[in-house]
Amino acid sequence: MSNSDNILKQIAPYRWRIPVDYQAGMRVPGEIIASERMIPQIINDKAASQVANVATMPGIVGASMAMPDIHWGYGFPIGGVAAFDLDEGVISPGGVGYDINCGVTLLKSKLTASEIRKDIPSLVDALFAEVPCGVGSEGSIRLNNKSMNAVLERGARWLIEQGLASNDDLELMEEKGCLTNGDASLLSKRAKERALKQLGTLGSGNHFLEIQVVEEIFDKTAADAFGLFKGQTVVMIHSGSRGLGHQVCDDSLKKMQDAVRRYGLELPDRQLACTPIKSREGEEYLSAMKCAANFAWANRLAMVGLIRSVFNDFYRKSILNPDLSMLWDVCHNIAKIENFEIEGKNRALCVHRKGATRSVGPGDASLPPKYRHIGQPVLIPGDMGRASYVLVGTEEARRTSFSSACHGAGRVLSRKAAVRATKNTNIRHSLAKRGIVVRSQGKWTLNEEVPEAYKDVDDVVEAVHGAGISLKVARLKPMGTVKG
């Protein structure tokens, strides 16, 4: 894709289209949600060309979409959304990503930031000691083959059965923490081996655990429904399926390359390797992906238990009561069968969200009763130096983006480029001067994840808010961060 001004045509505020005749083989147009000032960077990143490539895939419906945090990814762009007809469409591991069900949990407390500000360094140290993080980190919950299969097929429910979490938590997780009909026997021995000691671990890269303060409320009605108030202390977890999800994706891609040839699929990029949804390979990938997603939900909920223990132990002799309760848990990298009205007809579609978040509006039956009148909480993690957001889903998203919104800030520098740019900078010291306490495991993690490596999350959120596909509720400012 060249740098021509004709690549993207603005069709509405914050909406840009790649016309269907832009590239040979496009079956639907491309559509990107972004502000005008974000467009040059999106074009230069060349991720828009991946939006056009996805538009050529069999059975795609509506448009090949991308959110404002779009950047280059494997096959599909990160920030990509694509829905496929169940009969004629395909399913692609590249449309889900390697970190299956990378997602976010947000815990709310009764504590105010002013009450615990002096405790942040000690709390961060305690969390860093209690929640395993970094490459190869191991958790305290040890699984055998039998219990591993149970986690893969039952997800967060397994933790409830072991007395490690409560049913109240499940009600506040997307899909109640489990996609049904996952078949653990489809996963390779290597995939399971990689996860035997990883339940309840944070991981590395852009994953984090963060103590935050609710800095600003934009929608008091929604904030009240979610139990948020200005000055409140909250805790955010950003993590996924660890080595297991990566292995499931890797194993599946090898099978998909053969399936592309077997089914005679013509694709502009081999990284788009896919198979018909209703093929043996498609059904097996969907089932294996569900297992990886279930492990991720169990993984985050296990960390919730560790975080609650840290806070409860820290304030055991204090008059303060942390009372950390689940606000919501949402996944970012997943493919799910969902129903949408297309040209006046209700159709079941396979919706790929890769670096995108579900954004369901008011009245949806999938939401718990306490949120059904207001819409789904949409959790958007930012970088460790700026902010994160709570948004709320909308009916507009159902009509125009397959009930999807952005998933974070979106990288603008690769990890290697970020290290090169900051190798002589003391990132921990510079964040401390801004009042943010940081602990990390990896030697170069803070350099790789420096705020300047990301788009400004304020700009990204403003775009989805302006497009009406998810509306601002609260801005969360970091106080203390744990990185791998």
The better pLDDT of the pair 214, 432 is held by 214
State the pLDDT at residue 7: 82
State the pLDDT at residue 26: 98
User: For residues 415 and 454, is the Cβ–Cβ distance under 8 A?
Assistant: no
Model confidence at 206: pLDDT above 60: yes
For the chain, the average pLDDT equals 95
State the pLDDT at residue 135: 87
Average pLDDT over every residue of 72-84 = 97
What phi, psi does 457 have (nearest 5°)? -60, -25
- How many Cβ atoms sit within 10 Å of the Cβ of residue 366? 13
Strand order in the sheet with 345-354: 9-12, 15-18, 30-33, 60-71, 78-85, 345-354, 333-342
Give CA–CA dist 132/483, Å, rounded: 10
Residue 321 pLDDT level (bands cut at 50, 70, 90): very high
Residue 4 pLDDT level (bands cut at 50, 70, 90): very low
C-alpha closest to that of 445 among 210, 194, 203: 203
* DSSP letter (8 states) at residue 387: -
State the pLDDT at residue 255: 94
Residue 61 pLDDT level (bands cut at 50, 70, 90): very high
- How many Cβ atoms sit within 10 Å of the Cβ of residue 144? 9
Letter for the amino acid at 294?
N
Model confidence at 131: pLDDT above 50: yes
State the pLDDT at residue 3: 40
Tokens of 350: 């396979």
Model confidence at 229: pLDDT above 90: yes
Average pLDDT over every residue of 133-150 = 93
Give CA–CA dist 484/77, Å, rounded: 25
Model confidence at 1: pLDDT above 90: no
Give CA–CA dist 279/288, Å, rounded: 14
pLDDT per position as a tens digit, 430-473: 898 999 999 998 878 999 999 888 989 999 999 999 999 999 99
**Which residues are CB-neighbours of 200 under 8 A, at least 6 positions away?**
131, 132, 139, 140, 141, 299, 302, 303, 305, 306
Out of 21-25, 44-48, 77-81, least confident range = 44-48
In the residue annotation, 352 being an active-site residue is answered as: no
C-alpha closest to that of 436 among 59, 36, 121: 121
Model confidence at 180: pLDDT above 80: yes
State the pLDDT at residue 6: 63
**Among 352-356, 421-425, 433-437, the range of highest mean pLDDT:** 352-356
State the pLDDT at residue 231: 98
Residue 136 pLDDT level (bands cut at 50, 70, 90): confident
User: For residues 286 and 335, is the Cβ–Cβ distance under 8 A?
Assistant: yes
Model confidence at 160: pLDDT above 60: yes
State the pLDDT at residue 72: 95
Share of residues in the chain with pLDDT > 70 (%): 99
Out of 5-9, 71-75, 255-259, 331-335, least confident range = 5-9
Residue 367 pLDDT level (bands cut at 50, 70, 90): very high
Average pLDDT over every residue of 383-407 = 96
Average pLDDT over every residue of 201-229 = 97
Model confidence at 36: pLDDT above 60: yes
The Cα-based distances of 283 to 43, 56, 267 in angstroms read: 35, 22, 20
Residue 222 pLDDT level (bands cut at 50, 70, 90): very high
The one catalytic residue among 71, 207, 332, 407: 407
Tokens of 400: 């125009």
Out of 120-129, 137-146, 148-157, least confident range = 137-146
User: For residues 77 and 31, is the Cβ–Cβ distance under 8 A?
Assistant: no
Give CA–CA dist 159/176, Å, rounded: 12
The Cα-based distances of 239 to 7, 66, 202, 408 in angstroms read: 35, 22, 6, 13
